[in-house]
Amino acid sequence: MTKISFAKFEWFRLAIVWTLVALVSLLSPLGAEAQKDTRQLTREDSKNQEKRIALIIGNGSYTDSPLRNPPNDAADMAVTLKTLGFEVSLLTNSNQTAMKRAIRSFGEQLRGSDGIGLFYYAGHGVQVKGVNYLIPVGATVNTEEEVEYEGIDVGLVLAQMESAKNKLNIVILDACRNNPFARSFRSADKGLASIDAPSGTLLAYSTAPGSVASDGTGRNGLYTQELLKQMQTSGLSIEDVFKRVRVSVRGLTQDKQTPWESSSLTGDFYFAGIKTVSPSPSNKANVGSSKIVEPVNKPTPLASKNRPTQEASNDIELSSFKSTSNGKFGYKDNDGKIIIPAIYDYVDYFSEGLANVKQNGKMGFIDKTGDIVIPLQYDGAASFSEGLAVVRLSGKMGFIDKTGKIIIPLQYYLAYPFMNGKARVELKPRKHFFIDKNGNKIK
């Protein structure tokens, strides 16, 4: 048996140590980079988990000029924001004391949160000498000079937000109805006055400054009705949400009401998640033609007579326009080229490759070539979200897929688009619950 001397053994041991040291030196930059990446991912995750705080107020029970919709608007907004991760405080038909207390409490919640603040108000609002006031229930106003003492200066809300020094703030005012005290006012100013948004704030009005908005004929005011739809659409930036609301409201009012925003935002914000990459056209499901009334053949496109010969691809961006010659709606591309002629009474934005359109009182869906893929046979329809769309027929609402097949029966009094795999529905007014994509009630 060969013996190994102590000196040779010591040299062998040192060689192993030096080798290990060299390997550690080579790998340590990678390890440091990995730790850096991990810390970066942690920071990015924390960004997506920012705190969201909302104060929602809806006033309608006024002695003079009562409003039917604001309490409904506020209640529905509260439910929607909760599903979007907001901590919500809700007040309806509140007096001045309750409103001021809630606004100050809202400011306290925002301080130190470094999160997102949202204030929503539906009800009467007036401007006096360029200052906007929200009108509490129970306010007694005989002259313009009394508004300052009976109302709530919008500046109080903005001051609370600004002093909180949180990341981002949103103020939504669906308060541009007719002035209930107009007869006792000397000035003839209508609606609300324009305000410059403080740093890091977006101010949204239901209509342009100096104009008045519709209270709506359904459960919600027109502006809030469209806003609730768009807020729940995944992947829309806050700017796109309000842009789509503006397009919808203008279309539904024949350009009589134009929602307005003033923004000083510098960062990005998404109500319902960050935009993801869309699947390539080759991976998209084929659009069929099964519907409530099964046709023998695919319906002839209404737009085919005048459509340009070069068809729009699924990837092209289209925006709606209104023809000055016939007052109808169609779609143009980013270069202003007409892709789908103006033949529709109403058009919505494209979502998941399809857009709902209205003609002769009925709604259906078209693709970006103008082909009708789901016949115009519904009384109402909303944009596709997570592969399903809300449709209404004979007063009942349900859900269809992109082939037109009814996935969840038309049985609901009210239904909202799917978000994160669930949708809010009502079988009876104000008795809501959530369902999954099979129509099963979520407990």
Strand partners, 319: 332
Mean pLDDT lowest for which of 47-51, 93-97, 329-333, 368-372?
47-51
Residue range 75-87: average pLDDT?
93
- Is the model more confident about 389 or about 175? 389
- What is the C-alpha to C-alpha distance for residues 262 and 363, in angstroms, rounded to an integer? 33
pLDDT for residue 336? 86
Q: Which residue has the higher pLDDT, 372 or 266?
A: 372
Using 50, 70 and 90 to split pLDDT, how confident is the model at 11?
low
pLDDT at 398: 95
Q: Which residues contact 123 (CB under 8 A, 6 or more apart)?
A: 57, 58, 59, 60, 67, 70, 134, 135, 174, 175, 177
pLDDT at 219: 83
User: Taking each helix axis from N to C terminus, what angle separates 222-231 and 70-83, rounded to the nearest 10 degrees?
Assistant: 10
Strands (E), 105-232: 116-122, 125-128, 131-134, 152-153, 168-174, 201-205
Q: Which helix (H) or strand (E) holds 32?
A: helix 6-48
Share of the chain above pLDDT 70, in %: 73
User: What is the pLDDT, as a whole number, of residue 209?
Assistant: 65
Dump pLDDT digits (tens) for 157-209.
Answer: 999 999 998 989 999 999 865 665 554 444 445 557 767 777 889 999 988 76
The pLDDT value given to residue 284: 34
> How many Å apart are CA 23 and CA 42, to the nearest integer?
28
Token pair for residue 361? 């009182």
pLDDT of residue 87: 95
Q: Is 74 helix (H, G, I), strand (E, B) or coil?
A: helix
pLDDT reported for residue 307: 42
Q: How confident is the model at residue 129 (pLDDT cuts 50, 70, 90)?
A: confident
Say if residues 144 and 186 touch (Cβ distance below 8 Å).
Answer: yes
Q: CB-based burial of residue 425 (10 Å sphere; 0-12 exposed, 13-18 middle, 19+ buried)?
A: buried
Q: What is the mean pLDDT of the chain?
A: 78
Helix axes 96-110, 154-164, angle to 10 degrees: 20
211: buried, middle or exposed (CB in 10 Å: 19+, 13-18, 0-12)?
Answer: middle
Q: What is the pTM of this model?
A: 0.57
CB 339 within 8 A of CB 308: yes
Strand pairing class (414-415; 423-428) = antiparallel
Q: How far apart are CA 342 and CA 307, in angstroms?
A: 10
- Amino acid letter, residue 429: P
**Tens-digit pLDDT profile for residues 84-108:** 999 999 999 999 999 999 999 999 9
pLDDT at 56 over 70: yes
Report domain extents, the chain: 50-263, 281-442
The pLDDT value recorded for residue 215 is: 59
Q: From residue 91, how far is each of 56, 98, 219, 443 by CA, in Å?
A: 6, 8, 18, 26
- Residue 16 has what pLDDT? 56
**CATH dotted code for 50-263:** 3.40.50.1460
pLDDT at 340 over 70: yes
The DSSP code sequence of 7-23 is: HHHHHHHHHHHHHHHHH
Least confident of 6-20, 63-77, 351-365, 419-433: 6-20
Residue 177: what pLDDT?
A: 59
pLDDT in tens, 354-387: 999 999 989 999 999 999 999 999 998 888 989 9
pLDDT at res. 252: 77
At 368 the pLDDT is 92
